[in-house]
Structure 1
Amino acid sequence: MIKEKTSFFLPALEWFIIAFFVRLLFLIFIHFYSLQTGFGGFYPLESGSDDRYYFEVAQEILYGHIPQTLPNYYPYFLAFVFFFTGPSLFLGQLINVLAGSFTVYFGVLIAKEISSSKLKGKDLRHPVNIAGFFLSFYPASVFYSTQLLKDPLVTMVGIVSLYVLILIFKKFRFLNLIILVFLLLFLSFLRGYTMLALLITTFIYLILFRRINIKYVFAGVLLFALIPWIAGHGIFGIKFLSSVLNPENLVSTRETVYSIGGSAAGIKIDFSSIHGFFLTYVYSFITAMLGPLPWQIKSFTVAIGLLDAVWVWLLIPQWIKGIKKLLKRREVEIGELVLLFSLVLIGIIALFSDNIGANTRLRMLAWDVFFIYAASLFGLKK
């Protein structure tokens, strides 16, 4: 029994170690490159980032100056860490290296849970190894794991939440449900729409793709109703959704936040008609999922995004295969829950983001989840 449990977690541990050292090496290089080029160890590109802001606010909180408004609670997390260690930019970045590595660890565990491959675990073609490779070397994940941004932490908590959710569906345990509640609440304080995306995914999966089970439906409805309410988003997240889905708010957010800078895609969603909305939104969705597209490359900064895009372009056949299974409905298994979450999250991002550079951060969780699903399709008997 002990040997079986060890063999189950061993691939995840191996890929965790690989991911950690890859990210640690890049952290050392990028951090000192930033110091040498005058960026002070912070985001080493002219396009700018939120890392200086997070570091400064975290220090203010640490010294008792509570800010009146914050876009998220990540500075509080940093302040909590700095309370024990003292303010340290490098340490904050190192924590993200760990977060990125744990994302790989739990991502490989998810691949193990949803795969039905008959290959041996040491076979490089096994889904756990394919997932481990993509998650460990995915360029955006490696880079942002070296920066003082909340995205690696959001991705890690999102992946762990998905893993616990899969465990609940495979064998319901009340303890796992409690763990999931706390994970989702933590996620809501970092990026509210990500928490809602996972709840919406769960709700859709329960209603459309799973046999009716009162226990699961009750737990799902309870989660969907109470967690957003506890997080301050209203029951069922109505308060948050009504604000986010308001066309005027979406247009304003796209134009003032995401349609600025050299990596803006220039896509305007048409809310004046159903036909116009469908065409423009689909284009925004494809850009968020697969961009930058060749004709959207207008600068060197945007061209760097191709390093990311190629990774997903290689897996488009798996993407199409999964969508076909969702449309057929009868062939849907627990693995398709993973794909569904990726699609829902990208769908939300596509509503408000018009920036290819920002997309590389915002879609990290959605892409990691997709890599896991795509990997699960390899090694299957035809």
Structure 2
Amino acid sequence: MIHKMKGYKMNKQSLQIILLFLLYSLVYFCLSTVIYYISILEGYKGLSLPFFGGADDGVFYYDQALNVLYNLPYILSSVHSLVLGYLLKFFQTESVFLLRMFNYLGSLLLMIISLFLLNKEMYQNKSFQTSAVILILVFCFYPSLLLINTLSIFRDIWIYFYFITCTYFFANLFIFKSKWPFIINFCLLLSMMFLLGSYRKYALLSFMIASFIFLVLSIIDKKNIKFRKFILFTLTSFTIFYLCLKSYKFPYINLSFQDVLAYRQSGLDIYSGGSQMWISLDQPNIVLFYLNYFYSMASNFIGPFPWQITGFTTLILMVTEGFLFLMISIFLFRRRKLFSEFDKYLLMQSLIWFMLISISNDNFGTGSRLRIVGWLPLLILFAKYYGEKLFQKKNMIS
């Protein structure tokens, strides 16, 4: 009888996850479809909504995809245009809705691989069901994630998916004992890294840097990574690079640190939009650089702050995301001593990402889009620990 009750409970919890996943799927599908039809009525071909302002990258991707469809010369800023073009070619159509559904598939895959990643460490943990529910709800109502994946046919959803998938296969290889043979995990990791780099080069660079640091510290600390060592190692390496290799061009992205700083500064010189951070990193010495750099990191991480509010957009960002992310950050910081090696790896991926985007990005609108990559690992961590907290609290009451 007890076994039957336990089985019933497990089935009920699994059903809850399935129903919430269907809710997630429905929310993303309905919002994307509604935006598509409103956009058509407004004469925007179903690509976006006219009242959101700013240029729509989806228009560019669609134009290039049409060029691929009709075998015309096209601009390949990323592989996204080529993928969309061959999708249209395969189905012999110009349908924007088909491309929207392709991105919708990416949203579903992102949710699935994130749940797999959560389950990777919480395998046989009784609180996994609760943590999975929290993760689905957070993904379902994360404003920027929801809008970026439904407003148009942006490439971002595939960057998020490949980034998390790379993290998953890296964990299979170097952190957990996977049921799959090493060669399969290795080939899948290389494939995902290739696709990630094809969509956004510096996303791959960020993943590789964080993974490299993790492996080095794993060897040094013998599988017991100290977070202070990570911070010290990263800051020391970054300082040496800043002082000695500022003009060195990375072969893969063909940019130097100085090039990125110049790009950021040029945006400050010519841009007058209301969502700028106005944080200059082009400083005469490294002390001033670090002061502004950490301010830029904090702004990209949980900004805008109240004193950075310049309009309705930044106010909405602060209210819907800034406060929530601050609370999640405090929650995770208080549990830092409980972090496993895998938790630390997720944290490294997040911090390295924010370190990189904080060098180049000075815009809150762009930042809300870019920081999703860095927040995905943190949201998985949050779901794990908050799920455990709720599970323990529920058991104490019962």
Q: TM-score of the superposition, structure 1-length normalised?
A: 0.81
Unaligned runs of 5+ in 1: 214-236
Corresponding residue for residue 155 of structure 1: 160
Q: Does 1:246 align with 2:223?
A: no
Aligned counterpart, 1:203:
212
Q: What is the rounded CA distance, in whole Å, between the counterparts of 1:9 and 1:205 in structure 2?
A: 34
> Quick one: percent identity of the two aligned structures?
22
Residues in 2 aligned to 1:188 and 1:163: alpha-carbon distance in whole angstroms: 16
Per mean C-alpha deviation after superposition, the further-off stretch among 87-96 and 279-288 is 87-96
Higher deviation after alignment, 268-277 or 6-15 = 6-15
The Cα offsets for residues 231-270 of structure 1, whole Å up to 9 and x where unpaired, read as xxxxxx94146x4442244222453399553322111113
In 1: Cα distance, 2:218 partner to 2:361 partner: 29
How many residue pairs end up in the alignment? 345
1:102–1:156 Cα contact (<8 Å) kept: yes
Q: Secondary structure at the match of 2:44?
A: coil
Q: Which amino acid aligns with 2:188?
A: I
Distance 2:324 2:351 in 1: 17
Query: How much has 1:180 moved relative to structure 2?
Result: 0.5
Kindly indicate whether the alpha-carbon contact (under 8 Å) linking 2:84 and 2:99 is maintained by their aligned counterparts in 1.
Answer: yes
Q: Distance in 2 between matches of 1:111 and 1:11?
A: 17
Q: Does residue 183 of the first structure (1) align with residue 218 of the second (2)? A: no
Output one character per residue of 1:58-105: Cα deviation in whole Å (capped at 9) or x when no partner: 1112211233x5322210011111111222211111211221121111
Q: Which runs of 4+ in 1 moved over 4 A?
A: 6-15, 210-213, 257-260
User: Partners of 1:11 and 1:83 in 2: how far apart?
Assistant: 39
Partner SS, residue 52 of structure 1: helix
Partner of residue 305, structure 1:
317
Q: Is the 8 A contact 1:12 1:105 kept in 2?
A: no
Using the TM superposition, name which of 56-65 and 255-264 deviates more.
255-264
Structure 1 partner of 2:34: 29
Describe the shift of the 1:254–1:373 C-alpha distance in structure 2 as closer, same or farther (beyond 3 A): farther
Q: Equivalent residue for 1:128?
A: 132
Equivalent position of 1:285 in the other structure: 297
Structural mapping, 1:1-382, within 5 Å? 14-44=19-49, 45-67=52-74, 69-85=75-91, 86-115=93-122, 118-122=125-129, 126-146=130-150, 147-168=152-173, 169-171=175-177, 173-209=182-218, 238-240=250-252, 243-256=254-267, 259=271, 261-306=273-318, 307-321=320-334, 324-325=336-337, 332-378=340-386, 379=388
Q: Aligned residue for 1:219?
A: none
Letter in 2 for 1:20: S
CA contact (8 A) 1:58 1:75 kept: yes
The whole-number CA distance in structure 2 between the counterparts of 1:376 and 1:321 is 14
Note if contact 2:119-2:128 (Cα within 8 Å) is conserved in structure 1. Answer: no
> Which SS does the other structure have where 2:251 is aligned?
helix
Task: Select between 165-174 and 89-98 the one with higher mean Cα deviation.
Answer: 165-174
One-letter identity of the residue aligned with 2:25: F
Moved more, 185-194 or 361-370: 361-370
Q: Does the residue aligned with 1:170 lie in a helix, a strand or coil?
A: coil
Query: Displacement of 1:358 after TM fit?
Result: 0.7
For 2:262, the aligned partner's letter is: V
Summarize the Cα distance change of 1:272–1:159 in structure 2 as closer, same or farther, 3 Å threshold. Answer: same
Offset, 1:118:
4.7
**Structure 1 residue 15, shift from structure 2 partner:** 4.6
Q: Given that residues 12 and 109 in structure 1 are in contact (C-alpha distance below 8 angstroms), is that contact kept between their aligned partners in structure 2?
A: no
CA distance in 2, matches of 1:157, 1:273: 37
- The change in CA–CA distance for 1:181 and 1:14 in structure 2 (over 3 A counts) is farther
Task: Say what the alpha-carbon RMSD is for the aligned residues.
Answer: 2.9
Structure with max Cα Rg? 2
**1-structure distance, mates of 2:205, 2:16:** 31
Once the two structures are superposed, residues 32-67 of structure 1 have per-residue CA deviations (whole angstroms, 9 ceiling, x without a partner) of 222334433222122222111110011112211233
Taking the aligned partners of 1:205 and 1:96, their CA distance within structure 2 comes to 32
- Note closer, same or farther for the CA distance 1:9–1:61 as it changes in structure 2 (3 Å cut): farther
Question: How far off its partner does 1:356 sit?
Answer: 0.5
